[in-house]
C-alpha cells in the first residue's frame, strides 16, 4: 500500500472500507450480542409474569346464557333490596336510639323528683317502655349485622 503523488491529486491505493469489512462486522456482532443479553435479562421477568396469569377456560370467557343472566339479575335485585332494607333499618335504629335517650333522660328527671319511699306508676311505665325499646333496638342491630355479613 502506498500513496502516489500525481501532479493534481494524491492517489490512495489502500482498499476502501466495504460493507462487509471487519470493523462493520464487529459492530454488527456487538449490537446483536447486546440485543441477546437484553432479551436474556428480561426473559425471567417476562416468564414470571406469564406464570402469575390465571389460565381461563373457554367456559369462563363465554358470555352468560339467558338462564345465568336471569339468575344474576335476581341476585343483584335481591342484594339491592337487602341494602335498601339495611339502610331503612339503620335509620330506624338511629330514631329509636334518640327516642331511647329522651325517655331515659325523662325517667331520670322523674326519679329525681320522687322521694325515697314513693315510686309513681308513670315512672314504672316509662321504665317498661325504655326496656321494650331497648330490646327492639338490639334485635334490629342483630338483623342488620347478620344481613351485612
Segment 7-35, tens digit of pLDDT: 556 555 555 555 555 667 777 777 777 77
Any domain includes 58: no
Shared domain for 129 and 72, answered yes or no, is yes
Any domain includes 60: no
Shared domain for 118 and 142, answered yes or no, is yes
**Which range marks the domain in which residue 25 is found?**
3-52
Helix H or strand E segment including 84: helix 66-113
d(CA 25, CA 22): 5
Shared domain for 39 and 70, answered yes or no, is no
Any domain includes 33: yes
Shared domain for 141 and 87, answered yes or no, is yes
Total tally of structural domains belonging to the chain: 2
Binning pLDDT at 50, 70 and 90, where does residue 50 land? low
d(CA 58, CA 36): 36
Residue 103 is predicted with a pLDDT of: 93
Any domain includes 16: yes
Any domain includes 110: yes
Last residue within a domain, chosen from 28, 52, 76: 52
Going by the DSSP 8-state scheme, the letter that residue 10 receives in this structure is E
Shared domain for 19 and 75, answered yes or no, is no
Binning pLDDT at 50, 70 and 90, where does residue 1 land? very low
Any domain includes 71: yes
Shared domain for 47 and 69, answered yes or no, is no
Shared domain for 28 and 78, answered yes or no, is no
d(CA 20, CA 33): 18
d(CA 8, CA 6): 6
Shared domain for 40 and 81, answered yes or no, is no
Query: Among 75-79, 97-101, 108-112, which range has the highest average pLDDT?
Result: 97-101
The pTM assigned to this predicted structure is 0.47
Any domain includes 57: no
Percent over 70 (pLDDT), the chain: 67
Shared domain for 76 and 142, answered yes or no, is yes
Amino acid at each position: 500500500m502506498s500513496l502516489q503523488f500525481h501532479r493534481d491529486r494524491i492517489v490512495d491505493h489502500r482498499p476502501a472500507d466495504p460493507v462487509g469489512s471487519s470493523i462493520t462486522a464487529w459492530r454488527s456482532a456487538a449490537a446483536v450480542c447486546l440485543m441477546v443479553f437484553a432479551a436474556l435479562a428480561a426473559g425471567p421477568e417476562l416468564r414470571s409474569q406469564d406464570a402469575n396469569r390465571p389460565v381461563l377456560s373457554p367456559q369462563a370467557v363465554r358470555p352468560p346464557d339467558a338462564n345465568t343472566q336471569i339468575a344474576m339479575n335476581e341476585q343483584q335485585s335481591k342484594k339491592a333490596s337487602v341494602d335498601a332494607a339495611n339502610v331503612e333499618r339503620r335509620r330506624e335504629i338511629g330514631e329509636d336510639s334518640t327516642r331511647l335517650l329522651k325517655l331515659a333522660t325523662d325517667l331520670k328527671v322523674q326519679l329525681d323528683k320522687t322521694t325515697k319511699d314513693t315510686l309513681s306508676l308513670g315512672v314504672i311505665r316509662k321504665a317498661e317502655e325504655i326496656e321494650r325499646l331497648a330490646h327492639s333496638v338490639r334485635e334490629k342491630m342483630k338483623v342488620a349485622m347478620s344481613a351485612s355479613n
